Amino acid sequence: MRRTAWLALAWALAIPAGASPVLLKNYGQELIDEAVASHPDLLVAMMHVTPPGEKDNIIIASNIGRFGKKADEDDMRVVDTGRSNLEVAAGGTRFEVELVLQDARGRSIGAMGLVFPYQEGVVDRKALEARAIAIRDHMRRHIAGAGDLVQPYPREASSTTRNHARKLIEQALGAHPALLVLEYVAAPAGGAEGTIVASSAGRVGAPAGEREGSVLRTGKPALAEAAALEGTEVVLALEDARGARFGALRAVFAREPGRTAAEAQREAEEIRNAWQKAGVSRESLGALDP
């Protein structure tokens, strides 16, 4: 199915009637699906976000539907105050945790509701709250901003999302706490600007930006301010074992007091050099790696 037709179908299926439209397979839904898959006892998981250009905070992702439903008073209290809602529900069989949803910078961008099985005297409420916070904190490392959450995932329907580059990106996130975004951009044949093949921020399938295109063409590193993330952006060329340039790495690091742009570039080079030392290539990074 062509991308335009896929998008039209996704918008047409958005529910409930009369609510703000929501893509049923947006990036937020991908993060929710991953959380549910990683935590089999997680009964409910949903995101409440105000999409760019909209006035209402709505459910944009969920494992139980209700897409487009407006946030109620309890939801907005979490968003407005930053304080979590904790509640025993369903006759004492469920424990609900609703907490602030954050981006990679730790900024509030909405609310996330998580529901676990519960039994009084058997299950520790504090432990369940801690689990909810851990799920949220893992998720925030993969959110550059609220706008990305409502974008289709992948951006191009034919793109592969489970490749070896994604695995390497996850490893880099774990090893570099200041890393806000890491993306691998493949250089295509024919002089085009390139395509994002793997990303920590959900932009798989999106076309490369101007800086990435310049690095792909010239091999020269690019350094810039990432204003939206209050960080430093570094783009570096990737070469295979033969020295042939086949792609680029885009890294955004948190801008902290005393941390210079040169230090951000050195850290990006550390990641890039580790990839190249391991002998990466266009083929290896694009290979399926569930």
pLDDT band at 5 (very low <50, low <70, confident <90, very high): very low
Distance CA 247, CA 88 (A): 50
Distance CA 215, CA 282 (A): 16
Place of tokens 């949803």: 101
Which residue intervals of the chain are DSSP H helices?
3-12, 27-38, 73-81, 125-140, 146-149, 164-175, 210-218, 261-277, 282-286
Class of 164-286 in CATH: alpha beta
Structure confidence at residue 11 (pLDDT) = 37
Contact 198, 165 (CB under 8 A): yes
Task: Summarize the confidence of residues 130-134 as an average pLDDT.
Answer: 98
pTM of the model: 0.89
Distance CA 110, CA 161 (A): 25
pLDDT tens track for 207-226: 999 999 999 999 999 999 99
pLDDT band at 28 (very low <50, low <70, confident <90, very high): very high
Mean pLDDT computed over every residue of the chain: 90
Q: Single out the residue of 238, 256, 236, 255 nearest to residue 247, CA to CA.
A: 238
Structure confidence at residue 24 (pLDDT) = 60
Distance CA 147, CA 155 (A): 13
Looking at 3.40.50.2300, 3.30.450.40, 3.40.1160.10, 3.40.50.150, the CATH number of the domain 3-149 comes to: 3.30.450.40
Structure confidence at residue 190 (pLDDT) = 59
Q: Where in the chain is the domain with CATH 3.30.450.40?
A: 3-149, 164-286
Report helix, strand or coil for 261.
helix
Q: Which residues contact 72 (CB under 8 A, 6 or more apart)?
A: none
Structure confidence at residue 78 (pLDDT) = 97
Report helix, strand or coil for 240.
coil
The amino acid at 11? W
pLDDT tens track for 43-62: 999 999 999 999 999 999 99
